[in-house]
Amino acid sequence: MSKRIFLYLLLCLSFRGYTQNADIDLLRNLNVHRNQNLDLPMEVISVSEAYIGVAAPVSVCVAAFVKKDKKLLEKGVNMSFALVASSARTYVLKRIVNRPRPAYSYPDIQALEPDLYFSFPSGHTSNAFVTATSLSLNFKKWYVVLPSYAWACAAGYSRLHRGVHYPSDVLAGAVVGAGSALITYKANQWLRRFYEVRYMQKNFGVF
């Protein structure tokens, strides 16, 4: 039994070492050997997640109030809750994992912005993907889905180009963001069906 435990731990450590090496090797290829002409565009894309992430749900809610459209307002509120949920999950995970930024452990990584907070998961990426997924779920049109995810992927890549996150940070951020949007969307659907059933039972005695 002790041999099996030892082999299992050895395997886990080896896998962890392999994935860590793959993580930093990919980051080096994208950061150290980057096209420096893209530094400014990547900075703009990276910063855009904060503005677009807030502007998207707010714009939907404002449009709903102007049009007096309850369904559109429901979508805006749903998107707002998804953003809050994603931000909360990202905040908690950062403090649980406490992963240092790449430049702290690997001096050759060129961080193009101050290394604030912790690295895992990427908050910029989670915000971008929660926004893209919320838009795609609530407005199922190709001209919404494709640009939304193209922008979210560019935001994730920008964090690697700028040397402030590992690839696994970006991947985790995408999962947290997209997952938060999907969970919030499904929860909203369940609540709507629940209250519709309750309304039908109360007023018509059906079901």
Q: Tokens standing for 75?
A: 């979508």
pLDDT of the chain, 207 residues: tens digit per residue: 444 434 433 333 333 444 568 889 999 999 988 999 999 999 999 999 999 999 999 999 999 999 998 889 989 999 999 999 999 999 999 999 989 999 888 999 998 888 777 899 999 999 999 999 999 999 989 999 999 999 999 999 999 999 999 999 999 999 999 999 999 999 888 877 655 545 555 555 555
Residues 122/173, Cβ–Cβ less than 8 Å: yes
pLDDT at site 204:
53
Number of C-alpha atoms within 13 angstroms, CB side, residue 50?
5
- Taking alpha carbons only, the member of 112, 110, 118, 122 closest to residue 168 is 122
- Measured CA to CA in angstroms, residue 60 lies from 13, 63, 80, 139 at distances of 47, 5, 10, 11
pLDDT at site 70:
87
What share of residues in the chain are helix, strand, coil (percent, to 5)?
80, 0, 20
Buried/exposed code over 190-202 (b: 16+ C-beta within 10 A; e: otherwise): eeeeeeeeeeeee
Q: What is the total residue count of the chain?
A: 207
pLDDT at site 194:
57
Number of C-alpha atoms within 13 angstroms, CB side, residue 193?
7
- Taking alpha carbons only, the member of 167, 174, 175 closest to residue 23 is 167
Is the bond leading into 114 cis (omega within 30 degrees of zero)? no
Q: Which DSSP string do the residues of 88-157 spell out, in sequence order?
A: HHHHHHHHHH-PPPHHHH-TTS--SS---S--SS-HHHHHHHHHHHHHHHHS--HHHHHHHHHHHHHHHH
pLDDT at site 182:
94
Query: Dihedral sign, CA of 81, 87, 90, 96?
Result: negative
Enter the pTM of the model. 0.83
Q: Tokens standing for 116?
A: 């604030």
